[in-house]
Structure 1
Amino acid sequence: MLKLGIIGTHWITDQFIDATVKNGHWQLTSVYSRNLQRARDYGEPKHATEFFDDLDNFFNDGSFDVVYIASPNVLHYQQVRLAIENDKHVIIEKPAFTNPDEFSQIEALLQAHPTVRLIEAARHVHTPLFAAVKDQLNEMNTVQGATFTFMKYSSRYDQVLAGETPNVFSPEFAGGALQDLGVYPIYAAAALFGEPDTVVYFPTMIDTGADGKGGAVLKYPDFEVTLNFGKIANSHMPSEIYGLKDTLVMDNIADMTEATYFDENQKAHKLDAVVPDNSMSPEVDEFTKVLEQPNDLNNLKSYETWFKLSRLVNSLTYSLRESAGIKFPNEQ
């Protein structure tokens, strides 16, 4: 049984905990919040038994094996450091870190703690339907590019319009569209096509100093992948991968529930794959195997693949931000 500690008490944590309950190999034991009463209010209905409002005490005294971190982006690096130094496995919500320097420092720390596993939670690339898309892509004779879209209006933008600066739109907290919803299409492109030659990002900046939405182009040797993402508008456009006469269409690159392959005669073939009620369940199931038996050769191979992909996504996200001249205060 994997004992779980959590940092971040909101809806995405609810979804993760629900996936661990469905998996059956996890027990929530420990909850951290800056407010101790909030930690209790959140954790007690979920049968947690330990509550903390001090991070050092959480990591030193908590009885958990794995910590799930879903805090504001700018806090990830320091919290992951504390976890690794205390030999806790880490599942970190995307984006894991804000720049390659942070990633490199954590990678070096992991080498000093070789039994610890660090996994970035990118749920969409672990689903059976994403695997089916990848299999279909490998059968396409020609690839001429792709367009991935994920644009969803954030209720927090109402606060921005009212003159406030919520964390998700604050440069101080490493917020903005690229560092949030943009990570989903970047992950998909990296998982499906690998590392591009060059990248460029064209952001729409908002009053808080963050990017509200934007478009990015990833240039590969023989094609381009265009990414459209944002938090200040809604898009209902599908995502597509272009062959020659054939096309692979996905309803939503981040929350995929349907994918269809149109062959050269434009005949539709719906990809057959299970779509779970909880989109985090497939990643939790895969993470469970790796964390319960970390030295199994297949599990070790999976972990190394995820880690390399996480490193690539971190590098691409930073390069896109750099191309647009977006800097965060903690980096200056």
Structure 2
Amino acid sequence: MIKLGIIGTNWISKMFVEAALQTGSYTLTTVYSRTEEKGNAFLADLDTDTDNVAVVTTLSDLYTNIDVVYIASPNALHFEQAKVAIASDVHVIVEKPSFSNPTEFAIIEELLTRHENVRVFEAARHVHQSNFKLMQQAVIELPQVQGATFVYQKYSSRYDAYLEGQEPNVLTREFSGGALYDLGVYPIYAAIALFGAPRAVQYLPTLLNNGADGRGTANLFYDQFNVTVIFGKNANSYLSSEIYGLKETISTNNIAELNTITYHDGDGNADNIGVAGTSNPMVAEASDFSRVITDPINEHVRYQQWWQLAKQVNQTLFDLRQSAGIVFPADIKD
């Protein structure tokens, strides 16, 4: 069994822990929280036996009894926390976006060369799901790709807090937040996984008063087509996402959730080519990561594919920010 530790006690940590336990490959051993009270409250909310799970309040104590750490802290904290884990020869599963910029990514990449047995995974759950793989195959079979429009826009309760004068982490540049680095990473990940890295990008954001982006439209330019990506945290959208062939169109109700995948043949016929997903959408990635951890030699090629994809996404997110003049404090560290 893979000994799992976690950083972060929010809803997504709970979802990942439950997904990991569902695979039968992990056992939860340690929870890191700023306070014991929050850590114990997190454990009490899990639907599993947690009597033997330790709650720690210092990172040095976290790495004493784990094989892999799941990091779901604010974006700007991922880098330093991952460095400590790698230096402790602990595998890392880090929520997307993994790191704030290509400089941080390169430092992590160099550190891994000195800890060759450690694996770092970016938790882009949707690209590991069965329906995403079915969408990939359908795209391959299109006679021609003429572009795509991906939409992921959900009103956030954190925006209510912002309107009340607060500064929630997810909507501040100080914590490498904003719409692009929260919801936008889902459709950007999907676009690059499907079509590769774009040759050029442009981001047109709607900025909040604190300089972070509340929503925006990103354009990814390829040689033969363009991809338009619409996302945000301060409004709701109910539009589907589409990939355009000639007469054919592939659509999904939600590019992050992928509940349905529909193939439209251009003659009015629509065929549901998707499958029913698991109740927990993080099971697929947790299972994929466990196979690499337990069988790194045979799973090396897949791991390298995921790593290169994460690297391309990281660069594209940074380039989009650059095009819009959005600077994070993490970009100008000494």
Q: TM-score range by the shorter chain?
A: over 0.9
Tell me what 1:216 maps to. Answer: 218
1:286-328 CA-to-partner distances (Å, cap 9, x unmatched) read: 11111111122xx111100000000000000000001000001
Cα contact 1:202–1:324 (8 A) shared by 2 = yes
**167, 170, 180: which one aligns with 1:168:** 170
1:329 Cα offset (Å)? 2.0
2:69 aligned counterpart, secondary structure: strand
Please show how residues 1-332 of structure 1 align to structure 2 within 5 Å: 1-43=1-43, 46=48, 47=50, 48-59=52-63, 62-296=64-298, 299-332=299-332
1:29-61 CA-to-partner distances (Å, cap 9, x unmatched) read: 0010111222233236551522211112322xx
1:331 Cα offset (Å)? 2.3
Distance of 2:328 and 2:111 partners within structure 1: 24
- Report how many aligned residue pairs link the two structures: 328
Show structure 1 runs of 5+ residues with no match.
Answer: none
1:252 Cα offset (Å)? 0.3
Distance of 2:274 and 2:218 partners within structure 1: 30
Distance of 1:320 and 1:189 partners within structure 2: 14
Distance of 2:21 and 2:61 partners within structure 1: 26
Distance of 1:85 and 1:20 partners within structure 2: 24
1:255 aligned counterpart, secondary structure: coil
Distance of 2:143 and 2:31 partners within structure 1: 50
Show structure 2 runs of 5+ residues with no match.
Answer: none
Distance of 1:36 and 1:54 partners within structure 2: 11
Cα contact 1:246–1:266 (8 A) shared by 2 = no
1:96 aligned counterpart, secondary structure: coil
Distance of 1:96 and 1:18 partners within structure 2: 21
1:217 Cα offset (Å)? 0.2
Aligned-residue Cα RMSD (Å) equals 1.1
1:245 aligned counterpart, secondary structure: coil
1:38-85 CA-to-partner distances (Å, cap 9, x unmatched) read: 2233236551522211112322xx301010000000000000000000
Cα contact 2:100–2:331 (8 A) shared by 1 = no
Amino acid at match of 1:292: T
1:39 aligned counterpart, secondary structure: helix
TM-score by length of structure 1 reads 0.97
Cα contact 1:68–1:91 (8 A) shared by 2 = yes
1:140-177 CA-to-partner distances (Å, cap 9, x unmatched) read: 00111000000001001001111111111111111100
1:208 Cα offset (Å)? 2.5
1:276 Cα offset (Å)? 1.2
2:139 aligned counterpart, secondary structure: helix
Distance of 2:176 and 2:274 partners within structure 1: 38
Amino acid at match of 1:137: V
2:217 aligned counterpart, secondary structure: strand
Cα contact 1:170–1:208 (8 A) shared by 2 = yes
State the identity %.
48
Amino acid at match of 2:278: P
Distance of 2:140 and 2:25 partners within structure 1: 34
Amino acid at match of 1:154: S
1:14 Cα offset (Å)? 0.8
Amino acid at match of 2:41: D
